[in-house]
Amino acid sequence: MRLKMAIAFSIVCGGWAVPATSQQLPADEGGKSYFHKAELSRFDPGAGARRDTEWPYERLVGDRGVFLTDRITGATLAVPSAPAVPKPPVDSGGPQTTSYPRPLTDNADAHSAEVRRYLVSAGIREEEVSGTHVTTTMAGGGPVSAGVQPAESRLLWYTTHLDRAVGGVVVEGSYAFAALDADGRAITEGAYWPPLSARVVERAQAFRRKLESGTGLSDFQAAVRRQQPIVREATGEVKIVHTAGSYHGEFVAQALYVVVVRNPNGGKAQILRFDDTGAPVRMPDEVPSGFDSEKQR
């Protein structure tokens, strides 16, 4: 029997030091910023750790992994090295085994509670954490021809992601996450939690009140459908949307109505955004930069 090891591993971006940022960030914070710091981190890059910089990124590299900081945006990411695969004796004939960290717990809620305590104690404002959601990393074995077999799979670890809201308004684009092992150390972790001005929070709250009053929602949805008929009867919600942690242009945060439009033919869904007049909006990091070269014929 041939052995198949299937691993699903999902990461966003995360961190370790206060960045030497060149972006213009809001001074009057309605949403408080959080930058992950090495001395508060549970991620250990391992022995022989060295620090190097290749603008705009700074890396702390050891034998167990890499801690990356985007010095422009402050987005950070801790990534473990590939699991060790010990070589069996030449005459053993047995399959190679892969050594993975043991998970903190097999209870997703318990893991989320610990990650929340960890990141809040590190500096994330408790009142901005509106909830958590979990992704699961699994491994499994079996014949390749049989495909993925849930019964043969085992939990490697949970990754808990914190959801953000400021002033009762959901924030799109911010994230903080961690996966913890049995010793409470971080297998992987990351954060991008930029400051948000009081003005953008107030605009989002006013936008939401407008839709909640009288015929505000129906009038607004009619304006949206005139601009984008594809929206049809889909409904959305007011969010604070900001540029991504990988975007190196000017930081932008706006109060927008965000709606997910499903493809009636089963294709990829679209995320559409509108300002308080019903006009379509594209964030700066969603606009083609023009730096991509044209395809050579």
Q: What is the pLDDT of residue 12?
A: 36
Lowest mean pLDDT across 65-74, 88-97, 134-143, 168-177: 88-97
DSSP-assigned letters across all residues of 96-125: P----PPBS-S-HHHHHHHHHHHHHHHT--
**Structure confidence at residue 15 (pLDDT):** 34
Give me the mean pLDDT over the 51-59 stretch: 92
Q: Mean pLDDT lowest for which of 3-17, 223-237, 265-279?
A: 3-17
Instruction: For residues 188-195, give the mean pLDDT.
Output: 96
Q: What percentage of the chain's residues is helix, strand, coil (to nearest 5)?
A: 20, 30, 45
Is pLDDT larger for residue 262 or for residue 267? 262
| 186 pLDDT above the threshold of 50 | yes
For the chain, what is the mean pLDDT?
A: 84
> Tell me, what's the pLDDT at 109?
97
Q: Is the pLDDT of residue 20 over 70?
A: no
CA 67 to each of CA 14, 59, 70, 134, 196: distance values in angstroms, whole numbers, following the listed order? 8, 6, 10, 22, 25
Segment 68-87 shows an average pLDDT of: 83
* Residue 255 bridge partners (DSSP): 240
| Contact indicator for 212, 253 with CB cutoff of 8 Å | no
* pTM of this structure: 0.82
Percentage of the chain modeled with pLDDT above 70: 79
Average pLDDT (223-239) is 92
